[in-house]
Amino acid sequence: MSWSVGAGLEGRTVVVTGATGGIGQAVANAFATTGARVVATDLDQVRLDALVAELPGEGHLAMALDLKSFDDQQALIDRAQAEPGGLFVLAHTAALLRRRNSLDDVTEDDWDAQIDTNLKATFFLCRRAANAMKDNAGGRIILFTSQSWMTGGFGGAAVYAASKGGVVSMARGLARTYGPYGITINTVAPGQINTPMLLTDLDPAVYEKMRVETPLGYVGEPEDVAGTVVFLASAHARYITGATINVSGGFLMY
């Protein structure tokens, strides 16, 4: 193995979901910098086109779709499979958070929207991706949980936390199932990262408390997470599967 930042990723096809989100943009940029071809997906084609136009390197694609749709999921995997070498990495950052500071305010629609997006869509997307990767003799799946998988969530995020706990458990089962096919599946657990998801409807006092209680002394930036994703996709992480990587500036230690 040669040692480089994105070892094994040069010329590979990488799907990044949630690519116009806070963390997704940084992840797409990081993969493009390694020489990988990025298939960027999110809900809005105009924003995706703008993102892809700015990525370093060539051959990147922008595909707007809703991951809750199984037809859209299949179209995404088929498109990535059509690229040279087929799909090698799924970096799945897309998710939905609806904060409800009183649990009495949680509606059935809040429950369904978060569980359907964060857990149900993730399972079926992973299965599609893994079946494609089997045909390609291996691959890497990087899922996003959250520190809330362990804490239960701050600032009105109990339903979201339940979905993210499910992602950790599910990733372990997927890792066991698809390991024999050369496919690794790991989860990244960010702490507080400055993105629209964190900041929407968050009480500024809660934000400040989190900042003060973070040993590294600041709320993370998307770039603080992107390196971990590239590492997990690279050849350097080839013997890691079923792991949850804590990227929280020390806010939680495990």
Residue 190 makes contact with ligand NAD by CB under 6 A: yes
Residue 155 makes contact with ligand NAD by CB under 6 A: no
Residue 249 makes contact with ligand NAD by CB under 6 A: no
Residue 16 beta carbon to ligand NAD: minimum distance, rounded to whole angstroms: 10
Interface residues for ligand NAD in 109-148 (CB under 6 A)?
A: 117, 144, 146
Span of 100-108, 175-183, 187-195, 236-244 interacting with ligand NAD by CB under 6 A = 187-195
Bridge-based pairing state of the strands 139-144 and 61-64 = unpaired
Residue 148 to residue 190: CA distance in whole angstroms: 9
Sole binder of ligand NAD in the list 6, 8, 18, 165 (CB under 6 A): 18
- Answer yes or no: are the C-beta atoms of 235 and 7 closer than 8 Å: yes
For 79-82, the CB contacts below 8 A with 24+ separation are 79/39, 80/13, 80/15, 80/39, 80/132, 81/132, 81/135, 81/136
Burial class (CB in 10 A: 0-12, 13-18, 19+), 145: buried
Residue 249 beta carbon to ligand NAD: minimum distance, rounded to whole angstroms: 11
Residue 104 to residue 107: CA distance in whole angstroms: 8
> Tell me, what amino acid is at 85?
G
Q: Which residues contact 69 (CB under 8 A, 6 or more apart)?
A: none
Q: Which is nearer to ligand NAD, 23 or 132 (CB)?
A: 23
160 included as an active-site residue: yes
> Tell me, what amino acid is at 201?
D
Q: Which is nearer to ligand NAD, 21 or 165 (CB)?
A: 21
Q: Which is nearer to ligand NAD, 8 or 190 (CB)?
A: 190
Residue 96 makes contact with ligand NAD by CB under 6 A: yes
Residue ranges that bind ligand NAD, judged by CB under 6 A: 18, 20-24, 42-43, 66-68, 93-96, 117, 144, 146, 190, 192-193, 195-198
Catalytic residues: 160
